[in-house]
Amino acid sequence: MNIKVSHISKSFKTYDRDPGLVGAFKSFFNRQYTNFDALTDINLNVEEGEILGILGENGAGKTTLIKLMVGLLHPTSGSIEINNYIPWKRNHDFLKMITVVMGQKNQLWWDIPASESFLLNKRIYQIEDNDYNNILNEMVELLDVKEKLNTQVRRLSLGERMKMEIIASLLHKPKIIMLDEPSLGLDVMSQAKIREFVKYYNQQYNATFIITSHYMNDIDSMCKRVFVMNKGKGLYDGDFSKLIKKINPTKKLIYNFDESLSNENIKIFEKKYSININDNILTAELDDKLLNNLLRDLFDVCNSQSFQIEDLPVEETMRSFFEDPENYLK
């Protein structure tokens, strides 16, 4: 099963109007429009069983691309084929193989328990009783929501509601799952549970996931490959860890001394490296080569009680990237 996006562009026509009654009157006789390019020449291939992360700031075009791939929008130009189906033709077999969960949209009925919405989806997708019970029990257990199945949806927490949304979307065992901001606004425990579930479902059913998220930890923990967008254009398509290393090749060293360094040694180290020493703890953010040199020099002059090397936070790295993305991709 393959997703092929070829030279996709999408423009929207927006209506311009001056404020006030005079503006409304003028626009009645002479309407002015502006074309907004949401997507420009997007090319993307996704193989069966992949978990692809789509990254970009607000307005980058992530959700628009998702909507095109599930057939909710028509492109201005270009083509999309998903297992030889064209999404916006809404073929019945195509709709059964795909699903989408949007973090800020609800498919569950608020005034009834989630279990009743699940039964409605069972009828819509014509799921056999045995298949329905097996997949429902499996997902309820994995997402730990058994005690909440018969609770009115409006009384569920945001995290519980998102888990129910995911269950409702997967009852028919789709092969392609698109998650748009699945952990938006969720607490840390709920985010972790959803990440674990995505990885399990992917491995168990060889399902393809396409995930957009503002939380870099989502992408870092679930996606090896990312597609980075900015202002409607594709900037990068490849290994996420390589992108992070390209943006910021430095790592953080925390080195705990057994005993205090002499003032003379401190001056030598401060001259050679960008470091900070406080209460027998040295910290430094350096690239691999300088970090190895620093460690070698430290081992020569003093003993270490302990030390650790950490990658810099992914959130900080990507924030720097989006401030000037083209500079990092030269």
Q: Please classify residue 217 by burial: count the beta carbons closer than 10 Å to its beta carbon, then call 0-12 exposed, 13-18 middle and 19+ buried.
A: middle
CATH class of 249-311: alpha beta
| Cβ 105 vs Cβ 112: under 8 Å | no
Residue 113: DSSP 8-state: B
Q: What are phi and psi of 198, to 5 degrees?
A: -60, -45
Summarised one tens digit per residue, pLDDT across range 195-230 is 898 999 999 999 999 998 877 888 888 999 999 998
Instruction: Report residue 22's pLDDT band, with 50, 70 and 90 as the boundaries.
Output: low
Residues of the chain with CATH 3.40.50.300: 3-245
Residues of the chain with CATH 3.30.70.1150: 249-311
The pLDDT of 269-279, averaged and rounded, is 84
Continuous H helices in the chain: 20-29, 62-69, 92-97, 114-124, 129-143, 158-170, 188-205, 216-222, 240-247, 263-272, 288-301, 314-323, 325-328
2.60.40.10, 2.40.110.10, 3.40.50.300, 3.40.50.2300: CATH of 3-245: 3.40.50.300
The per-residue b/e assignment along 62-89, b for 16 or more CB within 10 angstroms, e otherwise, is bbbbbbbbbbebebeebebebbebebbe
Instruction: Report residue 1's pLDDT band, with 50, 70 and 90 as the boundaries.
Output: low
Share of the chain above pLDDT 90, in %: 42
